[in-house]
Amino acid sequence: MDITVNILLTIATAATPLLIAAIGELVVERSGVLNLGVEGMMIMGAVCGFGAAYLTGSPWIGVLAAIIAGALFSLLFAFMTLTLATNQVATGLSLTILGLGLSGMIGTNFVGLPGVRLPNLYIPGLSDIPVVGKLLFGQDPLFYVSIALVIAVSWFLFKTRKGLMLRSIGDSHSSAHALGIPVIAYRYLAVMFGGACAGLAGAHLSLVYTPQWVENMTAGRGWIALALVVFASWRPMRVLAGAYIFGAVWIGQLHAQAFGIPVPSQFLSALPYLATIVVLVLISRNKRLTMMNTPASLGQPFVPDR
């Protein structure tokens, strides 16, 4: 039973950064913007979060620094794609490369230093309940933030007028503009929210998952978060389920190596990415599933005066 609980705890820990990054990207894509710079924003959040926590001794300051770093990095993407109307795919890829390189330069002096871990929640009585105590009341704070984000985003998109406006922009930015909705302003806010979530996901990696700084420690999680949005057909609750499925695959390959299963370690390490490719291939073969909830204006630039 203890082994099962520990495995479930590690799955939740592995799924949390994927969920946070994916739920932020879902809001961005619902507004009609395709941001492929999630990986770069995550790694910038990771290094800035670790650096701020190490220098101040407070993991919460590290979390705040990571959110700000992700949001500022996303502003650069927003300015280039929304104001200058550059190609969203090329800009996102460029920012990912920039983030990976810039984070390596910033984090040079932090390599090998002990980190400041964000402590797990502990509620006397509740956290001590066998089995469910640790699972429900003994997780790290960002685990609960991730669940709250899913609920909040789901409520915002489908239960509020602002959420309806955001979805209408993603479906037809020209029609939304004709109705007087400030398309660019909404998209700026959506991109900043996605960047803040990506930065927060990076903070989870450097302050909870592995409380230290390692260059390229995101290890492709930003790309998996992008795939999760498509896998979930742009629905928040499906993102939650998908994140935990991918988290289970990620942790499964680690436990398989620990148990000495006679499979090449390189193959096991590639399993999360292989699973991502398989899911995307399966989805692409089903045209109806591919088009379901897909924002019609996704990736299309909008310039009001054209």
Residue 305 has pLDDT above 70, yes or no: no
- What's the rounded Cα separation, in Å, for the pair 27 and 17? 16
Find out whether 233 and 131 touch, Cβ atoms under 8 Å.
Answer: no
> What does the alpha-carbon distance between residue 38 and residue 82 come to, in Å, rounded to a whole number?
17
Q: At residue 149, what is the residue type?
A: L
Domain covering 2-291 assigned CATH 1.10.3470 in the classification? yes
Q: What is the DSSP string of 41-71?
A: HHHHHHHHHHHHHHHHS-HHHHHHHHHHHHH
List the structure tokens of 158: 């489908």
Mean pLDDT computed over 66-80: 96
For residue 198, what pLDDT band results from cuts at 50, 70 and 90? very high
Mean pLDDT of 125-142: 84
State the pLDDT at residue 6: 82
Domain ranges of the chain: 2-291
Asked if residue 204 has pLDDT above 90, the reply is: yes
Distance from C-alpha of 294 to C-alpha of 300, rounded to nearest angstrom? 13
Q: In terms of pTM, does the model score above 0.85?
A: yes
What count of other Cβ atoms lies within 10 Å of the Cβ of residue 291? 10
306 pLDDT more than 60: no
Q: What is the pLDDT of residue 289?
A: 64
Whether the per-residue pLDDT at 104 is higher than 90: the answer is: yes
**pLDDT range class, residue 257, cuts 50, 70, 90:** low
pLDDT of residue 145: 96
87, 97, 76, 96: which is closest to 299 by C-alpha?
87
| Distance, C-alpha 249 to centroid of its chain | 17
